Structure 1
Amino acid sequence: MIGRVFNGRYKITERIGIGGMAEVYKAQDQVLGRTVAVKVMLPQYAADSEFTARFKQEAASAANLQSPYIVNVYDWGQDEGTYFIVMEYVRGTDLKSAIQQRGAINQRKVAEIGSQVCQALSVAHGQDIMHRDIKPQNIMVQPDGNVKVMDFGIARAKNSVKAKTSSVLGTAHYISPEQAQGKELDGGSDIYSLGCVLYEAATGQLPFDGPDAVSVAMRQVNEAPLPPSQVKPDISPDLEAIIMKAMEKNSYNRFQTAREMKHALDDFLMGRPVAGVAGAMSSAPTAVMGGVAPMAMGEPGGTAVMPVVNPANSGSMQPTSFRMDDDSKKKSNKKTIGIVVGLIAGIIAIAAVAMALLGGGEAKVPDVMGQTQESAVKAIEAAGYVVGDITEEFDAETVAGRVCGQDPGADTPLEKGQKVNLVISKGVENGSIPNLKGMTAEQAEKSLKDAGYTPQYAGNEASDADKDTVCKQSPESGTQADKGTTVKYWISTGPEDIEVPNVVGSDQASAKSTLEKAGFTVNVATGEYSDKYPEGQVMSQNPNGGKLAKGETVTITVSKGEDPASKAINIPSVVGMASADAQSAIANLDLRYNVIEAPSDQPKGTVIKQSPTSGQAKKGDTITITVSSGPASNPGGNGQGNGNSGNSGNSGNGGDESDESQD
C-alpha cells in the first residue's frame, strides 16, 4: 500500500493503525500539499454490501460534523475497488495509550477531556447521530492538550437504524447496559460510555473487567461499579458523583444530554457547586432492565447481546429481580413505619395549628433554580405562593426545560399568596457562524462577539487572501453552532513565496504553462537573433531562479532564431554565363558582386573567371567576376581592362561596366 496514490491525489506514506474494519495510513495530499490520514477498508469487507454501506455512512455522517473536538473528514471515494476516507491527520496520542503509560490522570485533566468530548457528542447528537463506540482509543490527545473524537465508523443516523443492524457494536468495557442488551439506543448510551472512559482515566483502572467480552457485558448490565474513591481515595467527591451519574444503569437517571454533563464538568473545573449529582448512584442492587434479550454474536468488532442474568445463578440464564425486604423483618418494618408515619402526622398538625394562630404572614421564597417547570411549580405552591408569569429564554448555563430565573429570587421574604414568576431555559441558542474571510482581526473579533460566539486567534498563515485579513476559520461560516462556541481564525501573511522554475531552453508555450501553473503571471518579450536558441525558444528569463510571491510577474525572452546575416550561402558558379545573368544570380543570394573586364577569346560580356570559385559565403559577401572584353587584337583597345569596374550590391543591378567598383 505504501506509495500508492488514491484517485491521483493522496499518496500513502506509512501505516499508522488498524481497526476492525479498516487500516489507517498517513498520506500526502498532492493537490493541497498537506498531510492527511486515509482510512482504507480491509479487503475482506469490501465485497460485503452491508459493511460497504456502513463505511459510506461513516463518511457521510462525519463529514457533516463540524467541531474543534471532532476529527474532520475531507473526502471519500473508491479507487480500483478499494473504499477510502480522507481525514484530518491528528498529531498526538490516544487516551488509552496515555492511561497505560501514566496510570491515573490528573483529575482536572480528566474533567477537561470529558468536557471536550461532551461538546463533540453534543454536536453529533444535535444532528441525530450517535457515536456508539466511545472509548479511550477513539479520543486523541493533541500536543496542546485538547482532544479530538475520531472514528465514527459505527456511528449512524439514529432514524436510519434497521432491526438487523441495531445489534450491539462497540467495545465491551465501555458499552452501556442497553447496548449490551441490543435495545434501541439514544444519546444516553454515549454518555454511559464516556462515564466508563472517565472512570478509567481518573483511577487508572477499568470499571468492569473479565476474561472475555461476554462476562464484561454481563457485568455492565447487572453490577454497579466500585466508586472511584475506593480505587483512588484522593479523587474529588464532585468528580466521582459526575462519573457515577453518567454510569447509572437506567438512562433516565443519567445526564439527559451531553451538554448537561458538560455543564457539570465545567462547574467542577470552575470550583462552582455541582448541582444534581450527589448521591445519584445507589449502592443498592440494580434492578433488572427488562427480560432476556436475544443473543447476537459474530458481527466483526461487535460485542454479544447479553441476556440479563442473576449473577448468583448465572448458569441458569434466567431473569431475576432484587427485593429490598425479607419475611423475617416484615413485622418490625411495619411497626417502624407506623411510628414514623405517626410522628410525621403530629408534626404536620402542630405546624397547621401554628399557621392558623400566626396567620399567613411572610415567608421566604423557595429556591427552584435548575428544577423542571413541573417540580418548580409544585415547590412554589407548596410554600403558599402562586405561580405568576412563566416565560422562556435562551440560557447557556441551564439545561433546556429547567428554571433559569425566578422573581422574587430564592430566600426573598414575601407574603404568602403572592406571585412568583419563573423563567424556563430554552437551552443554548443555536445560530449560524458568520463569514470572517477578508476581515481584519479586530473586525472578526467584533463580528463573532456580536453573533454570540467566542473568538480565538489561531495564528498566521500564508494565503492568497490580502495581508492582515482573515484567510481561514474553524468552524466554517454558515455552520450551525451553539452560541458561546469558540471560533478560531487565522490571519493571512499574504501569498506564500514560491520557487521560480527555470524555463530557459523551453519553447514559449511550455515555459508559459509551467510558470502559470506555479502561480506566476508571465510576460513574453521578443529577443534577438541567436545561433544557440532556435526561433520560439526561451533564451532568458527575469528573474531566473529564487523565490517570488504568488501572482508576481516573470518575463521570458524568446529567441528570433538564427541571424539571416550569419547564414552560410553556397557560392554559385557563374563562369560562362553572360555578365548580366551572373550579376543577377549573385544578387539573388544576398551577395554582392564586383565586375572586372579582361580581353579573352570568349565572346564579349561572357564571364571568364570568378573569385572565390566555390565554397560558402555570408550575406553581403562580395563575389568578383571577370568578364571578357573580346580578343586583344580588336581595334579600339589594347585588350586590358581597367579592373575594378562595374556595380556590386544586393539589389541585383548589373554593373555599368565603368572603371569604378561600388561596394
Structure 2
Amino acid sequence: MPGRLLGGRYQVQDRIGTGGMATVYRGQDEVLGRTVAIKTMLPQYANDPSFAARFKQEAQAAAALQSPYIVSVYDWGKDGDTYYIIMEYLRGTDLKSGIKKHGALDCKKVAQIGSQIAQALSVAHRHDIIHRDIKPQNIMVQPDGNIKVMDFGIARAKNSHLTQDNSVLGTAHYVSPEQTQGKELGPTTDIYSLGIVMYEAATGQVPFQGDDAISVALKQVNEQPKPPSQLNPAVDPSLESIILKCMQKNPADRFQTALELYHVLRDYLAGRMAQVNSATAVLPGSAAAVADTSKLEPGQGMAPGNTASMPRVSRTGQYRPQRATEEAAEQEEERDRKRKRNIVIGAVCGVIAAVAIVFALVNVLGSASKTYPVPNLAGKTADEAQTAITQDGHFKMGETKESYSSSVEQGKVMDQDPRASRQMPEGTTINIVISKGEEPKEQVSVPNLTNMTPKEAQEACTKVGLTAVAGDEVEDDNIEEGRIAKQDVEADSSAEKGTKVTYHISKGTSQVVIPNVVGDSEDSATTTLKNAGFEVSVQYSESSDSVGKVISTSPKNGSSATKGSTVTITVGKAPSKVSVPSVIGMTYSDAADKLKANGFYAGLASGSSSNGIVTDQSETTATKGDTIYLTTKVESSSNGGSGSNGSGTGTTGGSTNGTGGSTQQ
C-alpha cells in the first residue's frame, strides 16, 4: 500500500496504525499539499456490498460534522477494491495508550475529557448520528491536552450487532446493555459508553472483565459496576455520581442528552456542587435512601428544588443508612429530653408550639401534594421560556441571568434551575440563564516565527497565549532546512488568545527540472532558463550546422538542479578561416589527398582534368570543410606516349607516380 496513489490524489506513505476493521496510513494530499490520515478498510469488510453501502452513507454524514472535538473527515472513495477515508492528520496519542502509560487520571482531567467528548457527541446526535463505538482507542489526546473523537464514519456499520463478532473484545468493554442485546439504539447508548471511558480514566481499569466479548457483554447486561472510589479512593463522590448515572442499565435512567451531561460536567469543573448533586440526585436502586432526608449523613443536604443529594457511597461500595439512623435516634432522644424540660417550664408554650408545627406541616404537605414536570427550556428565547413556564399556571418565572457559552446560541436559554423534567410542586419558581454567546477572547499580537526552530516558535507563541501547530513542510530557497519558512496567521497581526498559529518548516532549496533548450536561439534559451529560476552562462563552439543555436546544456536538459544555480549553454558559431596549404605543381590526385588531410575538399576548376598537374588553386585561406578548386594542365610527352589506357613510358608524358599515362594532345 505505501507508495500507492489513491483516487489520483492521495499518496500513501507509512503505516501508523491497524485496527480490527481498517489500517491507517499517513499520506499526502497532492492537490492541496497537506498531510492527511488515510484509513483503508480491510478486504473482508470492503468486499461486503451491504457494508460498502453503509460505509458510503456514514462517511458522507461524518464529513458534515463540525466540532473542535471531532476529527475532520475530508473525503472518501474507492480505488479498485480499496475503500478509503481521508481524515485530518492528528499528532498525539490515543486515550487508551495514555491510561496504560500513566494510570488513573485526576478527577478534573477526567471531567475535562468527558465534557469535550460530550460536546462532540452532542454535535453528532443533532445530525442523527449515533457513534456506537465510544472507547479510549477512538479518543485522540493532542499535544495541547484537548481531545478529538474519531471513527464517526464507520461506527454504525461496524457495531450494529456486537453479538455477531466475538473477536471484538476491546469494543465489548464499552458497549451498552441494549447494544449487546441488538435493541434499537439512541443517544443514551453513547452516554453509557462515555461513562465507562470516564470510569476507566478515573480508575485505570474497565469495570467489567472477561475472557471473551460475550462474557463481557453479559456482565454489561447483568452486573453492577464497583463504585470507582472502591478502585481509586481519590475519586470524589460528585464525579463518581456522574459516572454511575451514565452507566445505568436502563437508558431512561441515564443523562438523556449529551448536552445535559456536558452541562453537569461543566458545573462540576466550575465547583457548582449543588447543581451536580441535583442532576445526580436519584439513582435507581437508592431512591428510598435518597428520599428520607432525615437519614442523610453529615455533609449531605437538600439540593435546589427540595431534592436530596445522592447518598455518599462508602469505600466498600455500600450505602450507609445505619449510621444515619443511629445519629437520628440520638438526636430524637435529645429532643425528647428538651421537650420534657419545656413541658415542665411551660406547658402552654409547648401546646402553642405544637399547634404551630402541625399547622405548618399541614400547609407544607398540602402544597407539596401536587407536582408537575419542569418544562425543558433549552434553546428557547427569554420570552419563549417565560411563556413555557407560566402558560399552565403551575410555575412562576424567576430570575433571569446571562452568561457566556461556546455551545449555545446568543439569546437562547443555556441553563435552568430546577432542571427539565423534574417533578416539582406547584408554584415553584424557575430561574433561567441566557447565553451571551461565546466569550470574547483577549487580542494579542502574533509573533514572527520566520527562521525559528519549532521549539522556539512554541515558546514564542506560548508566551503571548497562542498555540504553535506544525503544518506541512515547504520548499524555500532562502530558509535553512528545519527552520520555519512561513506561518498561516500573519506576523504582527492581532489574534484571539488561544488561537492556533500553523507554521511550515522549510525543506531547503527546491530542485527544478532543466527545460530542453537545445536547438533554440541564444536569446530564447536564456529567457526560458531564467523563467525556470536559473542563472545562465553562455559559451561558444564552432559549428557549421548550428550557427547561433544552442548545441548543448550543462547540466543536461531533463535533469534536476537547485533553483538559482547556473546552467551553461553552448551556442554554435561560424568556423574561422585558416591557411590552405599550396598544392601547385602536384598531380591532382596528390593535391586532393593533401587538402583532405588538412580538412578541405578538392574540386576541378572548369576545363581542368584530373590527369593534369595543378597550376593554380582557388583559395589560400578558407574555412575547414570548404572545397578548393584546382586548375590543372596536362603536359605533352617528348617521346610520345602510349594510348590513354597504356602505361606511360616517357619521362614527361606519364603522371608523377608513373601509374597512368596522359592522352597525347
Work out whether the TM-score is over 0.5: yes
Distance change (3 Å), C-alpha of 1:546 and 1:555 = closer
Root-mean-square deviation over aligned CA pairs = 6.3
Q: Give the conservation status (yes or no) of the 8 Å contact 2:514–2:561.
A: no
Q: Secondary structure at the match of 2:239?
A: helix
Separation (CA, whole Å) in 2 of partners of 1:568 and 1:269: 102
State the alpha-carbon separation in 1 of the partners of residues 192 and 622 from structure 2: 98
Structure ranking higher on relative contact order (CA contacts 8 Å, 6+ apart)? 1
Deviations 1:180-216 (A, max 9, x none): 3433323222122111111011112212233443343
Offset at residue 10 of structure 1 (A): 4.3
Kept in 2: contact 1:245–1:281 (CA 8 A): no
**Aligned equivalent of 1:73:** 73
Counterpart among 499, 502, 514 of residue 503 in structure 1: 514
Shift of the 522–55 alpha-carbon distance from structure 1 to 2, 3 Å rule, reads farther
Q: Which residue does 2:201 correspond to in 1?
A: 201
- CA-CA distance at 1:122 after TM superposition: 2.8
Q: CA, structure 1 residues 194+349, in 2 after alignment: closer, same or farther (shift >3 Å)?
A: closer
Match of 2:652 in 1: none
The answer to whether the Cα contact below 8 Å between 1:396 and 1:427 also exists between their aligned partners in 2 is no
Paired amino acid for 2:553: M
Pairs within 5 Å for 1:340-359? 346-349=359-362
Aligned to 1:293: none
In 2, Cα distance between equivalents of 1:52 and 1:620? 75
Query: What are the equivalent positions in structure 2 for 1:94-173 lying under 5 Å apart?
Result: 94-156=94-156, 171-173=171-173
Offset of residue 627 of structure 1:
7.1
Q: Could you report, residue by residue, the CA deviation over 1:335-383 in whole angstroms, capped at 9, with x for unpaired residues?
A: xxxxxxx999643347899xxxxxxxxxxxxxx99999699958x9889
Deviation at 1:235, TM superposition (A): 1.0
Tell me what 1:295 maps to.
none
- CA separation in 1, counterparts of 2:5 and 2:134? 31
Correspondence for 1:294: none
CA distance in 1, matches of 2:529, 2:223: 65
| Helix, strand or coil at the partner of 2:85 | strand
CA contact (8 A) 1:381 1:387 kept: no
Does residue 539 (structure 1) correspond to residue 553 (structure 2)? The answer is yes
User: What residue in structure 2 maps to residue 227 of structure 1?
Assistant: 227
8 Å CA contact retained: 1:520, 1:554: no
Which residues in structure 2 correspond to 1:35-46 (within 5 Å)? 35-46=35-46
- Deviations along 1:415-471, whole A, 9 cap, x unmatched? xx9x989656479679xxxxxxxxx959xxxxxxxxxxxx95535767799x99973
Evaluate the alpha carbon distance shift between residue 459 and residue 501 of structure 1 in structure 2; reply closer, same or farther with a 3 A threshold.
same
Q: What is the aligned counterpart of 2:623 among 607, 618, 641?
A: 618
Conservation of the 8 A alpha-carbon contact between 1:398 and 1:404: no
Mind listing any 5+ residue stretches in structure 1 that lack a counterpart? 288-341, 354-367, 407-416, 431-439, 443-454, 474-483, 578-588, 596-601, 632-663
CA distance in structure 1 between the partners assigned to 2:470 and 2:45 by the alignment:
43
Q: TM-score, normalised by structure 2?
A: 0.55
Q: Is the 8 A contact 1:122 1:258 kept in 2?
A: yes
**Mapped pair 1:458 → 2:468:** yes
Aligned to 1:488: 500
Distance in 2, Cα, partners of 1:266 & 1:546 = 58
SS in 1 for 2:37: strand
Worse-superposed segment, 181-190 or 516-525:
516-525
Task: Tell me, in whole angstroms, the C-alpha distance in 2 between the residues paired with 1:533 and 1:104.
Answer: 83
Mapping 1:596-611, distance limit 5 Å: 609=614
Q: In 2, Cα distance between the equivalents of 1:194 and 1:146?
A: 16
Equivalent-residue separation in structure 2 for 1:377 and 1:271 (angstroms):
28
1:168 touches 1:182 (CA, 8 Å); kept in 2? no
- Structure 2 equivalent of residue 644 of structure 1: none
Letter in 2 for 1:265: L
Residue 607 of structure 1 contacts residue 625 of structure 1 at CA under 8 Å; is this kept in 2?
no
Aligned partner of 2:59 in structure 1 is 59
Structure 1 residues 558 and 83: CA distance shift in structure 2, 3 A:
same
Q: Which moved more, 1:127-136 or 1:70-79?
A: 70-79
Q: 1:554 to 1:130 in 2, by over 3 A?
A: farther
Residues 405 and 425 (structure 1), Cα distance of their counterparts in 2 relative to 1, 3 Å cut: farther
Inter-partner Cα distance in structure 1 for 2:145 and 2:263: 20
Q: Distance in 2 between matches of 1:175 and 1:245?
A: 15
Match of 1:17 in 2: 17
CA distance in 2, matches of 1:123, 1:532: 77
> Does the aligned pair in 1 maintain the 2:389–2:430 contact within 8 Å?
no
Residue-by-residue CA offset, 1:498-554 (whole Å, 9 max, x unaligned): 424363887489xx99x9999955799987456699744553589x99855xxxx88
User: Could you tell me how far 1:234 is from its partner in structure 2?
Assistant: 1.6
Give, as a single letter, the amino acid of the residue that structure 2 aligns with 1:17.
Answer: G
Q: CA contact under 8 A between 1:507 and 1:537: conserved in structure 2?
A: yes
Separation of aligned partners in 2, 1:117 and 1:389: 31
What is the rounded CA distance, in whole Å, between the counterparts of 2:258 and 2:497 in structure 1?
15
Tell me if the contact between 2:582 and 2:620 (Cα under 8 Å) persists in the aligned partners. yes
* CA apart distance, 1:151: 1.9
In the aligned structure 1, how far is the partner of 2:552 from the partner of 2:44? Answer: 55
Give the counterpart letter for 1:348 in structure 2: L
1:86 aligns with 2:86: yes
In the superposition, relative to structure 1, how do residues 96 and 469 fare at CA in structure 2: closer, same or farther (>3 Å)? closer
SS at match of 1:229: helix
Which amino acid is 1:503 matched to?
A: I
Quick check: 2:416–2:430 contact (8 Å CA) kept in 1? Answer: no
Give the residue type in structure 2 aligned to 1:501.
Answer: V
User: What fraction of aligned residue pairs are identical, expressed as a percent?
Assistant: 42
SS of residue in 2 equivalent to 1:24: strand
Alpha-carbon separation, structure 2, partners of 1:374 and 1:219? 46
Q: CA deviation at 1:140?
A: 2.2
CA shift at 1:114, angstroms?
A: 1.8
Equivalent positions of 1:207-246 (< 5 A) are 207-246=207-246
* 1:389/1:422 contact within 8 Å kept: yes
> 1:285-317 CA distances to partner (integer Å, 9 max, x unpaired)?
899xxxxxxxxxxxxxxxxxxxxxxxxxxxxxx
Evaluate the alpha carbon distance shift between residue 623 and residue 65 of structure 1 in structure 2; reply closer, same or farther with a 3 A threshold: same
Which of 548, 572, 575 is residue 561 of structure 1 equivalent to? 572
Q: Do the aligned residues in 1 keep the contact of 2:579 with 2:620 (CA within 8 Å)?
A: no
Secondary structure at 1:129's aligned position in 2?
A: coil
- Judged with a 3 Å threshold, the aligned counterparts in structure 2 of structure 1 residues 6 and 398 are, in CA distance, closer, same or farther, namely closer
1: distance between equivalents of 2:536 and 2:620? Answer: 39
Q: Provide closer, same or farther for how the CA distance between residues 629 and 39 of structure 1 changes in structure 2, counting only shifts above 3 A.
A: closer
Aligned to 1:248: 248
Cα distance change on mapping 1:508 and 1:29 into 2, 3 Å: farther
Displacement of 1:135: 0.6
* Cα separation, partners in 2 of 1:556 and 1:229, compared to 1, 3 Å: same
The alignment covers a number of residue pairs equal to: 491
Aligned AA for 1:213?
Answer: A
Structure 1 residue 134: deviation in Å? Answer: 0.2
Q: Deviations over 1:462-506 (max 9, x none)?
A: 7799x9997379xxxxxxxxxx9976343679x975424363887
Determine the C-alpha separation between the residues in 1 that align with 2:357 and 2:615. Answer: 147
Change (3 A) 1:244 1:401: farther
Q: How many Å separate the matches in 2 of 1:571 and 1:102? A: 100
Q: Which amino acid in the other structure matches residue 118 of structure 1? A: A
Is 1:282 equivalent to 2:283 in the alignment?
A: yes
Matched residues in 2 for 1:611 and 1:571: separation? 9
Q: Which amino acid aligns with 1:284?
A: G
Structure 2: how far apart are the matches of 1:420 and 1:394?
23
Q: Secondary structure of the equivalent of 2:83?
A: strand
User: Partner residue of 2:488?
Assistant: 471
